Structure 1
Amino acid sequence: MPLSDRERKVLEELELDLASEDPRLARQLSSGSVGQSFRARSYFGAMSFLIGVVLLIAGIAAQIILVGIGGFLLMGTGSYLLVERGLAGRFAGPKPTKHA
């Protein structure tokens, strides 16, 4: 179903507002590179977290403190990579708006 003229105009206005407020984000969205970096970071974070859990359990079971500490640090790094994107925008506060 094609867009109506009004919907097309509103969409163009939104694109222009985005380009004027955050040109870097507008370039990333138009190039399609945002999704790729998000997927790579999520995959690396999840794998780091899972390997960290295995190392932590193995370190505790074998009573090797350094392996357990390394696993804990790897878990922390993996969980940071997984949630960092979502929390960064949540605590940044509201963006100032332009009043025309």
Structure 2
Amino acid sequence: MPLTDEERKRLEQLERELSLEDPEFAQKLRRGLVVGPSVPGLWDLVLLVTGILILLAGVAMQFILVGVIGFLLMGAGAYRLSGQPQPSKALRR
């Protein structure tokens, strides 16, 4: 959805203010190099491994509900791990 003229002017004003206050951070935003957590997929990996262990426990104990919960956790962890982080394009021109 395109920005209105007023929104565009406000965004440009915010960009200028950011560049004056913290030029290094503003440059990182323009290049899309804003870094998140140091180990971005750690909790996703823990979720995947926990899901596998719960799935195996459910199968070994022959509890279908436990196996299904493990499968869902495993699937959620795998799905989150498969997502590739995209660079920030907020201030890129």
TM range (shorter): 0.5 to 0.7
Report deviation, 1:26: 2.8
2:30 is equivalent to residue 26 of structure 1: yes
Kindly provide the CA deviation profile for residues 32-86 of structure 1, in whole angstroms up to 9, marking residues without a partner as x.
Answer: 4x241x723x001100000000000000000111110000000000011111116
SS at match of 1:85: coil
Amino acid at match of 1:26: R
Q: Identify the structure with the greater helix proportion.
A: 1
What count of residue pairs does the alignment treat as equivalent? 62
Gap runs ≥5 in structure 1: 1-22, 90-100
Superposition TM-score, scaled by structure 2 size: 0.54
Q: What is the identity percentage for the equivalent residue pairs of Structure 1 and Structure 2?
A: 39
Distance 1:71 1:64 in 2: 11
What root-mean-square deviation, in Å, do the aligned CA atoms of Structure 1 and Structure 2 show?
3.1
Residues 28 and 66 of structure 1: CA distance in aligned 2, closer, same or farther (over 3 Å): same
Q: Normalization by structure 1: what TM-score?
A: 0.50
Q: Gaps spanning 5+ residues in structure 2: where?
A: 1-26, 88-93
Which structure would you say has the larger RCO, counting Cα contacts within 8 Å and 6 or more residues apart? 2
